[in-house]
Structure 1
Amino acid sequence: MYFEFSEKVKKLKKELQAFMEEVVYPNEQTYEEQLKQAGSRWQVPPVMEEMKAKAKAAGLWNLFLPDSEYGAGLTNLEYAPLCEIMGRSFIAPEVFNCSAPDTGNMEVLVRYGSEEQKRKWLEPLLKGEIRSCFSMTEPQVASSDATNMQARIERDRDEYVINGRKWWSSGAGDPRCKFAIVMGLSNPDAPKHERHSMIIVPLDTPGVKIKRMLPVFGYDHAPHGHAEIEFNNVRVPAENMIWGEGKGFAIAQGRLGPGRIHHCMRSIGAAERALELMCKRVLNRVAFGKPLAEQGVIREWIADSRIEIEQARLLTLKAAYMMDTVGNKVARKEISMIKVVAPNVALKVLDRAIQAFGAAGVSEDFPLAAHWANQRTLRLADVPDEVHRQAIAKLELKAYS
């Protein structure tokens, strides 16, 4: 494995870092202030569209897509350092049109969508004109086992009828969110992993009802948000089916591999920013007659944080390299490994940084508490740690059985 980045990637990395320093970081506070001033938190702060226009003009747009027809044509390994930089700020991924769940939905449409689906839904997403959400998790069942999904997608002549309740449909709170990709049970009698399908459901379709927005540790993540949605006899044209009936799990595997590695890259970025903030803080704060940086336990925190971040990054780069060279299926153990490692490392580093900041660490004056809440959520999102560990152990034992 050779992790030296190409000149193209080095150039993009330099440009992205400069853009973050000049545009994104200075506007983080502006973004929050505009949300508070809007009268409703479920409105898009004007500064976001201003930043997006600047990013598009700078050529820092759709960097996540490996298909050069639609994106930057970067491999997973090439995108890794860029995604890490974006992960340092909550608002950055959207600025570059590289935020979940749009990234996963765009990848689904690129790989499996019909030409009409691409024209109607993919192209506006690529331009950053609309947003989307992904409706998979259900409140009535243990969604760590996705075969439990009960929402129904049933054929009725030239339409499909959708009934069920989904929650944690991230992005559905955004007024620009125009459609959901819904996964549900369509073929109950088929083999286990051929029973579910994915279908495009415009959110303005009769029968679609957003019941509530779900906060995460008290954060509403407006205007993005995480919605509980009811689908009551929702009818959509048959051509909204993605790929074909029973292909839901096959699509999910294609969608979640890149999605998981993007989450891990961003987690490393969050950890790096936490370590940076901690180092700056302890050099400038005095307690018991000397700077915090001279306290032995804090030096230990800094050393352990650097060690753990480097380990997590190397494992993530290895997984990205394998995805590019041998494919997601062969790399599934490495993908599961990083999905466990990266959020847990980020949580450790963030926890130390919060401790070093004292009471300020749990406030909204610094991004540490919000990043901690996000990383703790990632231990559940895209399959919980325990399921990934089970998969890792199963693959490890397979070599000996």
Structure 2
Amino acid sequence: MMPLLCALPAMAQSTDNEPTGALPTAASSASSDTSTASADGAACDAEVEALRNRVRALEQAIDELEQDESGPAITEVPLDLETRINGWGAITLENYEGQPVGFRLDEMVLRYAANLDRRMQFSSEVAFEPAELGVNLDVETMELTIRAHEALRITAGRVHLPISYWAGTAFHGAYRFLPVSPPKVLALEDDGGGFMPMHLTGVELTGTMPVGFWTANYAVGTANGRSPYVGGIAQAGDWSWGKAVYGRFWIESPGGLLVGVGGYYDDVDPGDAPPDSDLALLPRFTETIGTVQLVYTGVIDFRTEHFVFMHDDAVNVGGYAILGVPVGSTTPYLGAEYVELDDTSPLIAIGGQESEEKGYLGIRYDLGLRIALKLQGDVIHQGGDVGGAGHVQLAAGF
């Protein structure tokens, strides 16, 4: 085809060069055809070879592009995206009825997160907790997460029990929430054992999926569960074969509405755990926790959670509700919280916690981008007594 295409212009050119009406002789015609064919053939061969070279170059470029696309994905992440460090701290001037006015140094929390590559992340929260004789260092969380998909993330390590909205979002750092302290129902293990085993060591699956304009989320996992020692955390192993299981499911709207439910079950078995001189040893019992939560963070800030704790046949309940109305940099807020405890619960009987109801009224003023001043007054009903408390807190974060 290519020689034919190359020959057509030459044939046309030879025809055009003949004088009109002249009849070429046989000798002149043969000589002309031979020289023209020879010249046109050489030119055509050169043009064909040039086109072939261009085709080969294009084919090679396509092969290189296909090899790049099928090769390993680029895993390098820019340095400014690899590491993030955040911190929170606060100092509070407060007075409880019948007690001296004093300053309280809140825990200082540092959070470190690093992208190991595009699908793996390491994060950890470390808390420096002020005590009477110094400062205690505590690893709050340590998580290694592999993101297979937005609908499936696998996390191993130490986590906060995610069946609680508060515990799963901003448990530590007073700057991150409205009141001066978390609700009592979310007390940690060192407060009489805590009502929930807030710190767990195990494996967790989480994911996010779009459902129309809403987003569906889940978190399910298994872990060592509650330590058989009151105030202990089962992070260096487990004394029993049974493992705790838990899950939380919630949906969120684009407008800031969240509705969720969660549950937890564990067979708390001391097994062969030896007695401890500092920590009381719990008897064997089953622990079941259920929770519901409703959160709205639109033109107002409303958060409420309610819990049922069952220790064998003993039923304990607790919860909180907080309402804030942002007006520029100022947010007036009010809240209420409660814990109603059953003394027949082995945890409550040994831990020594008491039922409590509290209401409070406060105001938060954001002095700058990462610093806030809070004023809060409490009314507390505990053990048949009613008292009050006042707080002035300066909280910051970075």
TM range (shorter): under 0.3
Instruction: Answer with 1 or 2: which has the greater Rg.
Output: 2
TM-score by length of 1: 0.25
Could you say which structure has the higher strand fraction? Answer: 2
Could you say which structure has the higher helix fraction? Answer: 1
TM-score by length of 2: 0.25
